[in-house]
Structure 1
């Protein structure tokens, strides 16, 4: 459920906001167009929104600015503290993860950025099947994350990171649970969703799935 990475989140909370604006050269391409990616996710959301992996609250800010009702779910205490400092008083920020969370009475959109890859493929299947039951017709999943068009493209990305001397990035690509667009297509369609993908940079795609 991604909680095996909690120690990483606790440490990364100190520098996350600097990383996303490009101060870490290894991750500049990963976070290229970061603000536009968050804005695009927020524009696709409607109604009551659950945000998984809210982190320091960067996407949450944009969702709230769009006038949406938001429930934030974040497993890292340090990340939640950063979000609480940044977001308006009374913002609903809960301990939880993609699978283990308090289910609100109504959910219209489920969003996440840069987080779903912390789940194994089996956990992703479980989570997406759960969301298929949680959302009604017209409900959406909108995730922005690193994913690949094929396993070969994934392997190539690791090689390119290694050749560039980006050892931290290469290690991340090999130890976290990145997957492919065909995987997402098959799982989402099996759970009653129509899905599309828009590329944002060399690494990140926005996956938008609507419940039929």
Structure 2
């Protein structure tokens, strides 16, 4: 949290993310695609100022955000405040959400904690529910380094914890999850994860 100063960023966040820099390229398109995958009771982890509510009904939505500044900005925009929590501690009872979403936030979770973050999302997910993660990520560590070099972004990429498709596939396999990956542009992917139910298994 201190590394990125989200409280200080809250005032300019909405303007900054729509400047179409490399991280936020196709920003509104990505949010709309994620919202299109969200059904039923939706929990949004790392919700920031709640931009995705442009595409979602607020009565079915719960935001979770660790930054006090972001929560205050969210409340100013939408008239209610998200919960104080983060990827490793979501203040919501088990099996409460039909869909857990997160956009442009998962790269703040250190690689060694990503599996625990997914487990926490699973904890609050109802049977048959889904997790939808949209963020900058890369197919492999090799692609991450190559794109960093080619695009002059090596320092910026190394300063964050961007996931790879390889990493997330391994985590999902270990946890018995089905995962599907959709590449939106050179940097941003959407990952759809769900539990494999007993009724889905083939003998």
Q: Same fold (TM over 0.5)?
A: yes
Aligned length: 195
Q: Which of 65, 75, 84 is matched with 1:84 structurally?
A: 75
Q: Which of 184, 188, 194 is matched with 1:204 structurally?
A: 188
Inter-partner Cα distance in structure 2 for 1:61 and 1:101: 23
- CA drift at 1:178: 1.1
Inter-partner Cα distance in structure 1 for 2:138 and 2:183: 10
- SS of 1:5's partner is coil
- SS of 2:93's partner is coil
Give the match for residue 113 of structure 2.
123
Q: Which of 14, 32, 37 is matched with 1:39 structurally?
A: 32
Q: Which of 53, 77, 85 is matched with 2:46 structurally?
A: 53
- CA drift at 1:200: 1.1
Give the match for residue 12 of structure 1.
9
- SS of 2:44's partner is strand
Q: Which of 73, 77, 88 is matched with 1:99 structurally?
A: 88
Q: Which of 32, 49, 74 is matched with 2:65 structurally?
A: 74
- SS of 1:83's partner is helix
Does the 8 A contact of 1:198 with 1:205 survive in 2?
A: yes
- CA drift at 1:179: 2.1
Change in CA separation of 1:118 and 1:133 when aligned onto 2, cut-off 3 Å: same
Q: Which structure 2 segments of 5+ residues have no match? A: 197-203
Q: Deviations over 1:122-176 (max 9, x none)?
A: 21111112333432332100010011101111112221343xxxxxx54331121
Inter-partner Cα distance in structure 2 for 1:99 and 1:50: 14
Does the 8 A contact of 2:75 with 2:81 survive in 1?
A: no
Does the 8 A contact of 1:71 with 1:92 survive in 2?
A: no
- SS of 2:23's partner is coil
Change in CA separation of 1:152 and 1:5 when aligned onto 2, cut-off 3 Å: same
Q: Normalising by structure 1, what TM-score?
A: 0.84
* Cα RMSD for the two superposed structures: 1.9
- CA drift at 1:4: 4.3
Q: Which of 184, 188, 192 is matched with 2:172 structurally?
A: 188
Give the match for residue 131 of structure 2.
141
